[in-house]
Chains A and B, each alone.
Chain A
Amino acid sequence: MEGYTGKILWIDLNSRRHRVTDTPPELCRKYLGGRGFGARLLYELLPPGTDPLSSKNIFMVLTGPLTGTLAAGSGKHVVVTRSPLTGTFLDSYCSSYLSAELKFAGFDGMIITGKANLPTYIWVDDSKVDLRDASRLMGKDAHDVEDLVREELGDRSIGVMATGPAADNLVRFACINSDYYRQSGRGGAGAVMASKNLKAIAVRGSGGISCANPMKMLKAHFRYIENIKESEAPKIRSKYGTNMAMALTNTAGMMPTKNLQEGKWDEVEGKIDPDSLCKHMISQRGCYACVSTCSHMCKTNIEWAGRSEETLIEGPEYESLVMLGPNLGISDPAVIMKGTDLCDKLGLDSISTGGVIGFAMECFEKGLITLEDTGGIDLSFGNRDGFFQIIEAIAYRRGIGNVLADGVMRASKAIGKGSERFAMHIKGMELPAYDPRGAYGAALTFAVNPRGACHRRAWPPAHEILGHYKPYTVEGKAQLIKQMYTENCYLHCLLVCDFARFVPVLGDPYQQFETLLSHYSEYIGYVTGEPYAPEELKELCDRVETLIRMFNVREGFDRTHDTVPNRILNEPLPSGPAKGLVIGQAAFDRMLDEYYGLRGWDKRGIPLSEALERLELSDIENRRFFR
Chain B
Amino acid sequence: MSSLNHYEQICSYCRLCEIVCSFQRLGEFSPRRASIKVTRPNRHDAFLLYCRQCEEPECLSACPVGAISKEKDGTVLVDQQLCTACEACITACSYGAMFFDVKDEMAYKCDLCKGDPLCVKSCPKGALSMS
Contact = CB atoms under 8 A, between A and B. Distances in A.
Nearest to B23: A214
A208 B104 CA distance: 13
Interface stretch (A284-292, A415-423, A430-438): A284-292
Contacts of B124: 224-225, 228, 290-293
A567 interface: no
Given A104-B32, A147-B43, A157-B39, A290 B12 contact: yes
A438 B66 CA distance: 71
B69 interface: no
B16 interface: yes
A233 to B, nearest CB: 14
A208 B30 contact: yes
Interface string B1-35: 00000000111111110011011001111111100
Contacts of A210: 27-29
Given A68-B29, A70-B20, A222 B121 contact: yes
B122 A225 contact: yes
A157 B28 contact: no
A156 interface: yes
A277 interface: no
A514 B14 CA distance: 28
A323 interface: no
Contacts of A8: none
A485 B25 CA distance: 39
Interface residues of B, number: 32
Contacts of A291: 14, 16, 124
Given A228-B124, A288-B14, A293-B14, A208 B44 contact: no
A287 B14 contact: yes
Given A206-B102, A224-B124, A291-B124, A70 B13 contact: no
Nearest to B101: A206
Contact of A286 (B14, B44, B103): B14
Interface string A93-116: 000000010001000000000000
Given A104-B30, A157-B39, A221-B122, A206 B103 contact: yes
Contacts of B39: 156-157
A285 B14 CA distance: 7
Contacts of A218: 20, 23, 122
A162 to B, nearest CB: 12
A224 B44 CA distance: 28
Nearest to A205: B32
A293 B46 CA distance: 15
Interface in A345-377: none
B44 A100 contact: no
Contacts of B46: 285
B8 to A, nearest CB: 8
B28 A209 contact: yes
B102 to A, nearest CB: 5
A192 B90 CA distance: 43
Contacts of B23: 70, 214, 218
B30 A289 contact: no
A288 B11 contact: no
A210 B43 CA distance: 31
A211 B29 contact: yes
Interface string A282-303: 0111111111110101000000
Given A285-B13, A286-B12, A208 B122 contact: no
Contacts of B125: 284, 293
Interface in B27-79: 27-33, 39-41, 43-44, 46
A342 to B, nearest CB: 15
B11 A289 contact: no
A341 to B, nearest CB: 11
Nearest to B22: A208
Contacts of B102: 206
A358 to B, nearest CB: 29
A283 B15 CA distance: 16
A180 B44 CA distance: 9
A100 B34 CA distance: 14
A287 B41 CA distance: 17
A221 B16 CA distance: 10
A488 interface: no
Contacts of A243: none
A460 B117 CA distance: 42
Contacts of B103: 206
Given A218-B20, A225-B122, A208 B28 contact: yes
Contact of B29 (A69, A287, A292): A69
Interface in A405-450: none
A189 to B, nearest CB: 22
Nearest to B30: A208
A147 B40 CA distance: 12
Contacts of B11: 284
A207 interface: yes
Contacts of A211: 28-29
Nearest to B14: A286
Interface in B92-127: 102-103, 121-122, 124-125
Contacts of A284: 10-12, 125
Contact of A293 (B12, B19, B22, B44): B12
Given A208-B33, A222-B122, A297-B44, 13 more contacts: A70-B19, A100-B31, A156-B41, A207-B30, A208-B28, A214-B28, A218-B23, A222-B121, A224-B124, A225-B124, A289-B19, A290-B14, A291-B124
Return the 9 tightest CB-CB contacts between A and B, nearest first: A208-B30, A286-B12, A286-B14, A208-B28, A293-B12, A284-B12, A210-B28, A291-B124, A209-B29
27 contacts: A68-B29, A70-B19, A70-B20, A70-B23, A100-B31, A156-B39, A156-B41, A157-B40, A205-B32, A206-B30, A206-B102, A208-B30, A209-B28, A210-B27, A211-B28, A214-B23, A214-B27, A214-B28, A218-B20, A218-B23, A221-B20, A225-B122, A284-B125, A286-B12, A286-B14, A290-B14, A293-B125
